Amino acid sequence: MATVCAGMTLLRATSVADVERALQCGEDVDCCSDDGKSPLMRAAQRGFYGLLGVMHALLAGDAGIDPANLGETSAMIAGHGQVFARLDDLYAQLQPLANVKEATTAMDRFVSVLHRFYLLLKRREADALKLSSSVVARFCAARTGAQTIGSFHHDIDRLLTLAGLREVSTAATEDLTPSLTSSRGNSSNCVIEDIHDWNKVWNKKRRDQLRTFEAWLQDTPALKEHLSDRKAREEAQMLLQFEALKRKRSYPPSVLEAMAGALAALEELDGGEAAEAVPNWFVPPYEVELGDFIGRGSFAEVYHGKWFDTDVVVKKLMPQ
C-alpha cells in the first residue's frame, strides 16, 4: 500500500474522487483481483501511462530548439529517448508486483527515478528556450548532459538487479570516461539491440559528440569568425579553461589538445593577451539547477539551487 501511495503522490495518479467512488461501492481498496492489482494500483497504472504520454510529448516536441542547434544536442535528445524506452520497458517488467523481488522497494525507487526523469525533461524544455548562442557553451553543456543520462542508466541497472529481473551485467560499469576509439565489438558503429544493454549506445553517441567538438575546435578560421565578438569570446575561453582544468577526466587527450589549440588561437584575436584565469569559485551554468529567487544585490542575484544533487545557494553575477 505504501508503494502505491508513493507512486500516486509523485505521478498524480489518483484523485480523491477515485478513492471515494471505490469506498462508496463497498470496494476494498487494498484487495487485489485475479490480475494481482487493487483498485488503487489500477488507478496508479492509469496515472503512469498518462505521465508517459506527457514525457513522450516533451521528448518529441523540441519546438523551442533552434534547428541550427540540433547538431550539438541531437545525441543528448536521443539519449533521453533511450532512458524513456528503458523506463517504459522496466514498468512492464514490474507487473505484476507479486512476481517481483523486493517489490515495495523496487517500485518506490522506480517512481523516484521516473519523477526525476520527468523533471529533467521539463528543465530541458525550459532550457531549450534560452540556449546560448555559443557553440562552445553547447558542446561543453553536452558533457554534463551525457553524464546525467549515464547516471539514469545506472539507476535503472540497479533497479533491474534489485527486482531480480536480470543478472548484473559484467559489461555495465560506473566508468563514464569516453574514448574516441571503441573498445567493444568489431565496429564503433555497432549497436546492441537489447534495450537494456545501453553502454555501447551511450559510448557511441558520446564519441560522436566528441569527434564533432574536436573537429570544430580545430577549424581555426571558423572558430575565430564565430567568436569575433569579445564578450562571446571571453565566455568561450572561460568555459574551455574550466573543462580542460576541472573536468579533464571527461575528455580524451586529443580533445584536450584541441581545447588548448583553440585557446591559443583565440588569444591571437586579443593581440596575444592571455585569457583571464578561471576563478576558483566559478561554476558553469550548465552544471547548476537554478531554483527559487532569494534576493538581489548591487552586482549579483541569489537563488536556491542544486549542484550535483547537493542543495546550494547560487550567486549569479549580473552584466556590468
- Give the chain's mean pLDDT: 74
The answer to whether residue 42 scores a pLDDT higher than 80 is no
- pLDDT given at position 213: 95
φ, ψ for residue 307, nearest 5 deg: -135, 110
C-alpha cell read off for 3: 508503494
Q: Are 112 and 182 in contact (CB under 8 A)?
A: no
For the chain, give the secondary structure using H, E and C. Answer: CHHHHHHHHHHCCCCHHHHHHHHHCCCCCCCCCCCCCCHHHHHHHHHHHHHHHHHHHHHHHCCCCCHHHHHHHHHHHHHHHHHHHHHHHHHHHCCCHHHCCCHHHHHHHHHHHHHHHHHHHHHHHHHHHHCCCCHHHHHHHHHHHHHHHHHHHHHHHHHHHHCCCCCCCCCCCCCCCCCCCCCCCCCCCCCCCCCCCCHHHHHHHHHHHHHHHHHHHHCHHHHHHHCCCHHHHHHHHHHHHHHHHHCHHHCCHHHHHHHHHHHHHHHHHCCCCCCCCCCCCCCCHHHEEEEEEEEECCCEEEEEEEECCEEEEEEEECCC
The answer to whether residue 8 scores a pLDDT higher than 60 is no
C-alpha cell read off for 153: 542508466
- pLDDT given at position 253: 96
- pLDDT given at position 238: 94
Domain spans in the chain, listed from the N-terminal domain onward: 2-218, 219-282, 285-317
Say what percent of the chain tops pLDDT 90. Answer: 22
Look at residues 271, 275, 273 and name the one whose alpha carbon lies nearest to residue 233. 275
The answer to whether residue 33 scores a pLDDT higher than 70 is no
- pLDDT given at position 189: 39
- pLDDT given at position 71: 43
Q: Record the pTM.
A: 0.68
User: Of 34-43, 230-239, 250-259, which range is least confident?
Assistant: 34-43
What span, in angstroms and rounded, lies between the C-alpha atoms of 133 and 235?
11
Summarised one tens digit per residue, pLDDT across range 135-167 is 888 899 889 889 999 999 999 999 999 998 875
Q: Which amino acid is at 136?
A: V
